[in-house]
Amino acid sequence: MSRIFIHGLGAVSPGGWNVENLRAAWKENVPLPVQDLPRPGWNKPLQVRNVPPPTSRPAFLAHPRLRRATAVAQYTVAAALEAIGGDAAQIQSGDLRLGIVVCALSGSVNYSRRFYEEVLREPATASPLIFPETVFNSAASHLGAFLGVNAINYTLVGDDGTFLQGLALAANWIAEEKVDACIVVGAEENDWIVSDAIQLFQRKTVHAAGAGAIYLKKNFSDSAAKLVAVTDSFSFTQKQSRVEAARKMRAQLPPCAGNELFSDEKVKTIFGEAFTASAAWRCVLACNAIRRNELSAANVEIVGINQQAIGARFVKAN
Partner 1 sequence: MLFPSQKKTLGSNRVVVTGAGIVTALGTGWRTNADGFRAGKTAFRPVTLFDVSRQRAKIAAEIDLPENFPATQLSENNFKRLARASKMLLLAAHEAWAQSGWQSEENLPVVLGTTSGEMSLGETYLRQALELPPSQKNQPSRIRHYQVQQQGIDLCNAFGFDGNVTTISNACASGANAIGHAFELIRSGRAEKVLTGGYDALCQLTFAGFDSLQALSPNPCRPFDAQRAGLSLGEGAAILTLENFDSTRKRGAEILGEIIGYGATTDTHHLTQPHPEGNAAFAAMNAACASAKISPEQVNYVNAHGTATPQNDATEAAAINRWIANGASRNLFVSSTKASIGHLLGAAGAVEAAVCLMALREQFLPPQISVNEIDSAVRFQIVREPMEKKFEMALSNSFGFGGANASIIFRRWS
Burial code of 196-215, b = ≥16 C-beta within 10 A, e = fewer? bebeeeeeeebbbbbbbbbb
Q: Which is nearer to partner 1, 32 or 253 (CB)?
A: 253
* Phi then psi dihedrals of residue 202, to 5 deg: -140, 95
Whole-angstrom distance, CA of residue 300 vs CA of residue 265: 12
Nearest Cα residue to 264 out of 256, 274, 253, 254: 274
Q: Which is nearer to partner 1, 14 or 158 (CB)?
A: 158
Sign for the CA dihedral angle at 134, 214, 61, 140 comes to negative
Whole-angstrom distance, CA of residue 128 vs CA of residue 126: 6
* Identity of the amino acid at 275: F
Q: Which is nearer to partner 1, 123 or 255 (CB)?
A: 123
**H or E segment to which residue 297 belongs:** strand 297-303
For the CB of residue 55, give the shortest distance to partner 1 in the complex, in Å. 29
For the CB of residue 47, give the shortest distance to partner 1 in the complex, in Å. 17
Q: Which is nearer to partner 1, 32 or 227 (CB)?
A: 227
Q: Which is nearer to partner 1, 19 or 139 (CB)?
A: 139
For the CB of residue 157, give the shortest distance to partner 1 in the complex, in Å. 5
For the CB of residue 274, give the shortest distance to partner 1 in the complex, in Å. 16
Edge-first strand listing for the sheet containing 207-208: 35-37, 46-49, 207-208
For the CB of residue 19, give the shortest distance to partner 1 in the complex, in Å. 23
The separation between CA 244 and the C-alpha centre of its own chain, rounded to angstroms, equals 26
Q: Which is nearer to partner 1, 13 or 276 (CB)?
A: 276
For the CB of residue 144, give the shortest distance to partner 1 in the complex, in Å. 5
Nearest Cα residue to 103 out of 167, 48, 149, 49: 167
> Are 84 and 215 contacting, i.e. CB atoms less than 8 angstroms apart?
yes
For the CB of residue 3, give the shortest distance to partner 1 in the complex, in Å. 9
Q: Which is nearer to partner 1, 79 or 140 (CB)?
A: 140
> Are 101 and 178 contacting, i.e. CB atoms less than 8 angstroms apart?
no
